[in-house]
A and B are shown apart, each in its own frame.
Chain A
Amino acid sequence: MLPSIASVELARLQFGVAASYHFLFVPLTLGMAWLLLAMEFCYVTTGKEIYKHMTQFWGKLFGINFAMGVLTGLTLEFQFGTNWAYYSQYVGDIFGTPLAIEGLVAFMLESTFLGIFFFGWKKLSKHQHLFATFCLAFGSSLSALLILVANGYMQHPVGSYFDFQTMRMETGSLITLFLNPIAQIAFVHTVIAGFTTGAVFIMGISAYYLLKNRDLEFAKRSFAIAAGFGLVASLILIFMGDKNGLIVAETQPMKLAAIEAEWTTQKAPANFNLIAWPDQTTHSNLFSIQIPEVLGLVVTHSFHAVIPGINQIEAENTQRIQNGMDAYGALVQLREGNKSPEILNLFNQKQADLGYGLLVKRYTDNVTDATAAQIHQAAEDSIPSVWSIFWTFRIMVGLGFLMALVFIYASFMSFRNKSIWTQKWFLTYALYSIPLPWIAALCGWFVTEHGRQPWTIYNILPTDLSSSAISAVDIGISFFMFVAFYTALFIVEIYLMFKYARLGPSSLGTGNYYFEKNIDKKIKNLGDN
């Protein structure tokens, strides 16, 4: 009756790949839109043409990236329905609302003004065009907010209750849903990460022009705007990352314990595993380098708060699974029409743990007859993969600090009035930093989503139950098709991105820039793009 494990795993892989792929394009859109607005603002206030050219040129790269963001985003809206049908109907009542609002309110705004951003330079007044760019930037950030409200519900389901008659989570309060603290913090964290990405991208490519000694005026101004933007963004980013940690400690203790590879509960303030090699089977770290007595300080900002370890939480989960089995037994009775007060009472008492009962459905379809061994197995399943979460988290944080250093150094040097334009090592460093924000962002999402396992809706709906009743072969075929399409399109996108980044502002056809002034063989290859 349940979908086969292979089909669930393939559906997960498909969603993970599709979401990661989407997130290759989203952060740049999020950040660059505001950077474009900043550049255009300079144009409108100073009247200097060069700022207009900056907006247009970086806008071209923005457009190449945006197209991919649109098509990969579309996939995600389809994925919930195609591969996760039970999930969609179990939580669609509340989860669908922010998604529908996202389309209507945010994506519509962003997309409508995208066209006029590109093609409206001659048709709008300066201020009107600036307003269009603002709508584009505002729409993309608003879109992120609504998507993260939806994602926040998966992490920390608030504002809903379970209805046994409709067999789904129903909306209790949309306001509570939208004010979900985890969504608010994830939103700021994500958008600021996008700003950092945009800043690293523009700074890196500007550094390339400086290294090549061309379009210097253009490159310096772009570099300066990006550096200033990036400094503020990366510092806020670190602050928000810390905030994010606090809220995870509060709402998802298991995820936090996995991030820190804390198997047994330690006395407060616990030791912090700087580096470790967690082993899932023995519930221990085969190797670790610890910093004594700072874990509590880092994740809860307190000397006294005890951070529960994985083993302790697992023991609590075992109890919750037993409660959940009772809840499931009562639910089946209710569904079969036996609505006697005792059954209703039992169900109401235990329904908070219904999700935990569903964890054993993988081993026994009846749930209520689970053996001790099966319950133990289900409790083990409630621990996400520790080593992968532990390490991706550390990569993310490390890269975050590394990026902040670039911006701090650039700002420091300009503060001391020293020119960074001639420091070749630094420009090279800035150029090769370009991939860093993407790696950090993907690691961050891996921690968030893989750390949410074994749930699709935390504590409510296990991943195993969430998928569609589609055979593994079919999901395999669709997965293969996605990979083929994405790879092909990605190659095209990267090719164009490199081509236009190398070409620089000469691609605008204004006649002011390097390749247009220096007639060499290259220009002939460029054609009339």
Chain B
Amino acid sequence: MDLMNVLQLLGWAAVGLVMILFALTGGFDFGAGILLPFVAKTDDERRVVVNTVGPTWDGNQVWLITAGGAIFAIWPRVYAASFSGFYFAFLLVLWALFLRPVAFEYRSKMPSQTWRSFWDWSLFIGSFLPALLIGVAIGNLFLGFPFQYDPITLRFFYGIHMSDTNALLDLFGLLRPYGLFVGVFCVVMMIMQGASYLAMRVSGLVHTRVIKAQKISAKLLFILFIIGGIWLFFIPGYQVIFNSNALNQPLNNLVSLSQGGWLLNYKNHLWISLIPLLGLISLLFVNFFSQKNLFLKAFIASSCALFFIISTMGFSLYPFIMPSMTHPEQSLIIYNASSSERSLIGILVVAVVMLPIIFFYTGFVYKKLWGRGEKMSVEKIQSESKTLY
């Protein structure tokens, strides 16, 4: 392994880290958005939920944008292939995301209940649909896609022909059982993270409902995670023989396909099995701490669970990013899809410098907002009605 391969590996870790950071932070306000219509009934209760994530949703959502940017910069080919290949799936994510900023900012700017209820449901859709569809896309990574490249120009073609694709039909092609399963799985993940965050921050009736959601989702996730793993045994998985010069020969991977192939990484490197195991243990702790009313610890456990679960997905796929089922030798892996050495160094240096700074000022903001152990309550909403969302 030379320097370039190390950089490619670090690039893979960086994309994974940004995705995990999105799931941890964006996760709780997407989760809060999904839970909103169900854990809060009256307008004041809804404002409790909205204002709990209100001051920080925007910063958290930037992790999603940064994830997109990181994929663009670190794996330009993956960015091009996924956004154009999953055309309508990604546009649906985008259109649903449209609803979030305006729902937060506009819902309480008019007194009408119909108006507010409309934006509450918009927030629900804007949180639910992206979580579901991003999950569906990730699930499909395990199944592979029909795509190929023109060998001379390296133009990307989705579908089985080298021609303009019918993107609307391709959307339905993504609705395969395992894809849908991972989609639902992601929604439950967001719900657990959202409930765990709200459990720390709110009081009153909303709190009671939120804890219930937290316990149910943690248990459900535990079961679904095991099912997802077992399911992989029955799915043909891809394996690739390492080629250090893959970047310059992007269409000539040596790829093989075998039943349960996605689990070979665990067989070859036993230590990786620790990651899903830690994920399962974390899920148990979410439930355990929630029973004991230790909500900060439950939130930390939930965050750990997400960290290990998403890492599990990454380690199972490694080194694949997007396998091609029609032309497996053209599959996108971390070694043929990456940027050049100078770009990778540039982006990684910026990340190493910036991440501690971001953690520092984000920590400052959270400390100022919640550091004195405040809870968001109906009473607080009523007393600061004009300044809150």
Residues on the B chain within 8 Å of A471, using CB: 164-167
A67 lies within 8 A of B152 (CB): no
Q: In the complex the two chains form, what is the Cα distance from A88 to B361 in whole Å? A: 32
Select one of B72, B97, B168, B387 contacting A119, CB under 8 A: B387
Q: Which residues of B contact A372 (CB under 8 A)?
A: none
Contact A81/B80 with A70-B101, A119-B55, A489-B98 known, Cβ cut-off 8 Å: yes
The B-contacting residues of A in range 74-108, CB under 8 angstroms, are 74-75, 77-78, 80-83, 85-86, 88-89, 91-97, 99-105, 107-108
| CB of B176, distance to nearest CB on chain A (Å) | 21
Which stretch in A43-51, A120-128, A179-187, A399-407 binds the other chain?
A120-128
In the complex the two chains form, is A81's CB within 8 Å of B166's CB?
A: no
Task: Give bound CA distance, A493 to B342, whole Å.
Answer: 43
Alpha-carbon separation in the docked complex, A86 to B102 (Å): 32
| A113 within 8 A of partner (CB) | yes
Q: Answer yes or no: B356 CB below 8 A from chain A CBs.
A: no
- How far apart sit A330 and B51, CA to CA, in the bound complex (Å)? 62
Q: A468-B84, A528-B111 are in contact. Are A171 and B339 (CB under 8 A)?
A: yes
A509, CB-defined interface residue at 8 Å = yes
**Can you list, as one digit per residue, whether each of A440-471 has a CB less than 8 Å from chain B (1) or not (0)?**
00000000000000000000000000001111
The answer on a CB contact under 8 Å between B76 and A128 is no
B235 interface hit (Cβ, 8 Å): no
What residue of chain B has the Cβ atom nearest to residue A331's Cβ?
Answer: B152
Is the Cβ of B109 less than 8 Å from the Cβ of A335?
no
Inter-chain contact A103/B157, CB cutoff 8 Å:
no
**Do B76 and A88 touch across chains, with their CB atoms under 8 A apart?**
yes
Contact between chains at A103 and B83 (CB < 8 Å): no
Scan A112-143; emit 1 where CB is below 8 A from any B CB, else 0. 11111011110110001000000100000000
Query: Interface residues of A, CB < 8 Å — how many?
Result: 91
Cross-chain contact B362 with A96 (CB below 8 angstroms): no
**Across the interface, do A81 and B79 meet the contact criterion of CB distance under 8 Å?**
yes
8 A Cβ contacts from A58-75 to B: 63-64, 66-68, 70-71, 74-75
Closest to B361 in A: A112
User: Residue of B at shortest CB range from A88?
Assistant: B80
Query: Contact: B77 with A89, CB < 8 Å?
Result: yes
A447 to B298, CA, bound (A): 55
Mark interface residues in A238-256 (1 if CB within 8 Å of B CB, else 0). 0000000000000000000
Flag the segment in A194-202, A280-288, A473-481 that touches B: A473-481
- Report B103-128 CB contacts with A as 1/0, cut-off 8 Å: 01110111110000000000000000
Known A-B contacts A103-B62, A111-B59, A118-B55; A174 and B342 likewise in contact (beta carbons under 8 Å): yes
B343 within 8 A of A: yes
A500 interface residue per 8 A CB criterion: yes
How many Å lie between the Cα of A473 and that of B59 in the bound state? Answer: 36
A interface footprint on B345-384 (CB within 8 Å = 1, 0 otherwise): 0110011001000100110010011000000000000000
Q: Once bound together, how far apart are the Cα atoms of A526 and B112, in whole Å?
A: 10
CA A89 – CA B65 in complex, angstroms? 18
Q: Among A1-9, A302-310, A419-427, which stretch is in contact with chain B? A: A1-9
In the assembled complex, the CB of A19 is this many whole angstroms from the nearest CB of chain B, namely 15
> How many angstroms between the C-alpha atoms of A63 and B101 in the bound complex?
10
How many residues on the B side are at the interface (Cβ–Cβ under 8 A)?
83
- Shortest Cβ distance from B59 into chain A, in angstroms? 4
Q: Write the nearest CB–CB distance from A400 to chain B, whole angstroms.
A: 31
A526 to B385, CA, bound (A): 13
Q: Is B61 an interface residue (CB 8 A)?
A: yes
Confirm or deny: A492 has a beta carbon within 8 angstroms of a beta carbon on chain B.
yes
Q: Is B37 an interface residue (CB 8 A)?
A: no
A170 engages B342 (CB within 8 Å): yes
Q: Does any Cβ of B come within 8 Å of A332's Cβ?
A: yes
Contact with A along B78-101 (1 / 0, CB 8 A): 011111100110110011011011
A132's nearest neighbour on chain B, judged by CB, is B365
* Interface membership of A485, Cβ < 8 A: yes
Residue of A nearest to B248 (CB): A165
- Closest chain A residue to B72, Cβ basis: A96
Known: A67-B101, A469-B164. A97 touches B347 (CB 8 A): yes
Q: Please, which residues of chain A bring their CB within 8 A of the CB of B249? A: 165
Whether B386 contacts A469 by the Cβ 8 Å rule is: no
Is B277 in the interface zone, CB < 8 Å from A?
Answer: no
Instruction: Answer yes or no: B56 CB below 8 A from chain A CBs.
Output: yes
- The minimal Cβ–Cβ distance linking B39 to chain A, given in whole angstroms, is 21
Complex CA distance for A353 and B358, rounded to whole angstroms: 43
Residues of A within 8 A of B291 (CB): none
- B34 close to A (CB within 8 Å): no
From the candidates B51, B73, B106, name the one contacting A64 in the complex (CB within 8 A).
Answer: B106
Nearest-neighbour CB distance to chain A for B254, whole angstroms, equals: 18
Docked-complex contact B76 and A121, CB < 8 angstroms: no
List the 8 shortest-distance A-B pairs measured between CB atoms, nearest first: A81-B83, A92-B76, A527-B111, A115-B55, A509-B386, A96-B73, A112-B59, A100-B69
19 A/B residue pairs, CB under 8 Å, sorted by A: A70-B61, A81-B72, A81-B84, A82-B83, A82-B84, A89-B76, A94-B343, A99-B72, A105-B350, A109-B361, A112-B58, A112-B62, A112-B365, A115-B54, A119-B369, A470-B87, A470-B165, A527-B112, A529-B110
Q: A85-B156, A92-B339, A508-B387 are in contact. List 16 more A-B contacts (CB 8 A).
A: A67-B102, A74-B65, A80-B83, A81-B72, A86-B80, A93-B76, A108-B358, A112-B58, A121-B387, A167-B154, A468-B80, A471-B167, A489-B102, A493-B102, A509-B386, A528-B386
- Chain A residues within 8 Å of B, Cβ to Cβ: 1, 3-4, 7, 63-64, 66-68, 70-71, 74-75, 77-78, 80-83, 85-86, 88-89, 91-97, 99-105, 107-109, 111-116, 118-121, 123-124, 128, 135, 163, 165-168, 170-174, 332, 335-336, 468-474, 477-478, 481, 485, 489, 492-493, 496, 499-500, 507-509, 526-529
Report which B residues bind A (CB closer than 8 A). 51, 54-59, 61-62, 65-66, 68-70, 72-74, 76-77, 79-84, 87-88, 90-91, 94-95, 97-98, 100-102, 104-106, 108-112, 150-158, 162-168, 247-250, 339-340, 342-343, 346-347, 350-351, 354, 358, 361-362, 365, 368-369, 385-388
